Amino acid sequence: MEIEGRLDYIIAGAGAAGLSLVYYLNQVGLTDRRILLLDRAPKTANDRTWCFWEVGEGIFEPIVFRRWEHLAFHGEGFSTVLEIAPYRYKMIRGTDFYRFMDQWLDAQPNVARAYAEVTSVTSDGDEAIVRTRDGHTYRAAWAFNSILFDPPVRRTTYHYLLQHFLGWVIYTPARAFDPQIATLMDFRVDQASDTRFVYVLPLDAHTALVEYTVFSGELLPRAEYVRQLAGYINDRLRIADYEAQHEEFGVIPMTDAPFPARHGARVINIGTAGGCTKPSTGYTFQRIQRHARRIAQALKATGRPHVATPLLHRRYELFDSALLNVLDEGRERGRRVFTDLFARNPPQRVFRFLDEDTTLLEDLQVMSSVNIPVFMAATADALRRRLAPPRSHPLSHTDSSTG
């Protein structure tokens, strides 16, 4: 497609959210819209692995690399294997997603791709304007932006944690893994003063993605992730002879600070930049799918991309803030909280709660499974912060744009 004149939609950032959105737009039948997909560079690396739970088959089922129906959980004095049916825990490798989308895009005559550093995405009247460093200005009826130009300003009103992790795909000649069981969280590691766990996603009997994960305010020196990860593989998995075939490092913002839904009238933010990351867990991929699907459906139905959150649904924002407050204020160890959640609820209820699909009765069941006085104090503090006049955060700013 020629990129001339006014476009219908520009999608800035062709990562998980941008690519998902363009896919949904065509899926709902908007195949006559002229769409431009912009990113700074084509995807050439397996830069991330997405894991999520899901019932039934999802839209990207053909590229799901592995799926598990059993999840091991090791908490505080509690270990179990969770049977999660009808859910399945799934893994999509970045490289498979990007390749799938590349091939699909090649066959979409209404979508053009361009590679350049995007410098601004703004609204001007009834137009969205996207500028790139190489001097181009593109105009469209709507722009969808997944570039985090302005990470949330740190204020005392909100909580700011980071989920940071280093993982290796390891291969060992011994049959060390049960491919049927993935470890969702293993808290049997030194907790230091925050929340730390390892997850183990077996790809076959010899190979697994092992990831050391921390919820805290600041990143660790690289050597510390390496020391902890290697220690877990040696001491807990009891694997001495292995080869690390691939490394993944990531930082995901865990904050209840709002990510603006829009930039003016014509720019809709999507992905992490659009607030799709679940503040209390960092899970984002499925929320991106939901958001993108709803935008595409709204465009199809009304010509406008606006999706509203029902008022009652906003209770989950308070639940997220309460958990962040518990962790941030050190009211209780994250290990204890997640142990209570998984020891006292069926995993399906926990998943529904984290997916924000629970009934009010289920909310009560989940809430009564954790330390009630601790969470009441945290909720009260989270509310008090919202009502107090905002001040700049006393801590130094940590870059949270990596996710």
Ligand X SMILES: Cc1cc2nc3c(=O)[nH]c(=O)nc-3n(C[C@H](O)[C@H](O)[C@H](O)COP(=O)(O)OP(=O)(O)OC[C@H]3O[C@@H](n4cnc5c(N)ncnc54)[C@H](O)[C@@H]3O)c2cc1C
Indicate the residue among 271 and 334 with the shorter CB distance to ligand X. 271
Under a CB-based contact definition with an 8 Å cutoff, are residues 11 and 22 in contact? yes
Per the omega criterion (within 30 degrees of 0), is the bond before 86 cis?
yes
Of 61-69, 268-276, 337-345, 374-382, the segment contacting ligand X by CB under 6 A is: 268-276
Sole binder of ligand X in the list 68, 285, 353, 375 (CB under 6 A): 285
| 279 contacts ligand X (rule: CB under 6 A) | no
- The answer to whether 255 and 395 have CB atoms below 8 angstroms apart is no
The residue of the chain with the least Cβ separation from ligand X equals 15
Which among 101-109, 233-241, 280-288, 341-349 is the span making contact with ligand X, rule CB under 6 A? 280-288
Phi first, then psi, for residue 179 (nearest 5°) are: -65, -15
Residues 54-73 that bind ligand X (CB under 6 A): none
SS3 236: helix
- Per CB under 6 A, contacts with ligand X among 182-241 are none
State in angstroms the smallest separation of the CB of 270 from ligand X: 7
CA distance 88 to 53: 5
Of 99-107, 225-233, 284-292, 347-355, the segment contacting ligand X by CB under 6 A is: 284-292
Among 284, 321, 358, 379, binds ligand X (CB under 6 A): 284
User: What angle do the packed helices 16-27 and 94-106 form, to 10 degrees?
Assistant: 40
d(CA 380, CA 361): 21
Based on the shown chain and the rule CB under 6 A, indicate whether residue 363 belongs to the binding site for ligand X: no
Which token pair is 205?
A: 């009997």
Q: Which helix (H) or strand (E) holds 376?
A: helix 372-387
User: Please, which residue, 117 or 150, has the CB nearer to ligand X?
Assistant: 117
Residue 40 contacts ligand X per CB under 6 A: yes
Residue 118 interacts with ligand X (CB under 6 A): yes or no = yes
Minimum distance, C-beta of residue 279 to ligand X, in the bound complex (Å): 12
Smallest distance from ligand X to CB 354, Å: 11
H or E stretch including 71? strand 70-74
Q: Nearer to ligand X by C-beta: 19 or 326?
A: 19
CA angle 387, 389, 394 (to 5 degrees): 115
Beta-carbon count within 10 A of 167 CB? 25
Which of 172, 183, 228, 272 contacts ligand X by CB under 6 A? 272
Of 263 and 336, the one with the shorter C-beta distance to ligand X is 263
What would you report as the CA-atom Rg of the chain, rounded to the nearest whole angstrom? 22
Q: Which is nearer to ligand X, 18 or 334 (CB)?
A: 18
Q: How far apart are the first and last CA of the chain?
A: 31
Angle between helices 315-328 and 334-344 (to 10 degrees): 130
| Residue 58 beta carbon to ligand X: minimum distance, rounded to whole angstroms | 13
Residue type, 325: N
Q: Contact between 151 and ligand X (CB under 6 A)?
A: no
Q: Which of 34, 39, 87, 320 binds ligand X (CB under 6 A)?
A: 39
Q: Mask of contacts with ligand X, 7-36, x by CB under 6 A?
A: ------xxxxxx------------------
Q: Which is nearer to ligand X, 273 or 350 (CB)?
A: 273
- Identify the CA nearest to 36 among candidates 142, 114, 100, 128: 114
Q: Among residues 129, 140, 147, 378, which is the contact residue for ligand X, using CB under 6 A?
A: 147
Residue 150 is a binding residue for ligand X (CB under 6 A): no
Residue partners of 374: CB distance under 8 A and separation at least 6: 326, 331, 332
> From CA 149, how far away is CA 151, in angstroms rounded?
7
Please give the residue ranges that form the binding site for ligand X (CB under 6 A): 13-18, 39-40, 48-52, 117-118, 146-147, 248, 250, 252, 271-273, 283-285, 288, 402-403
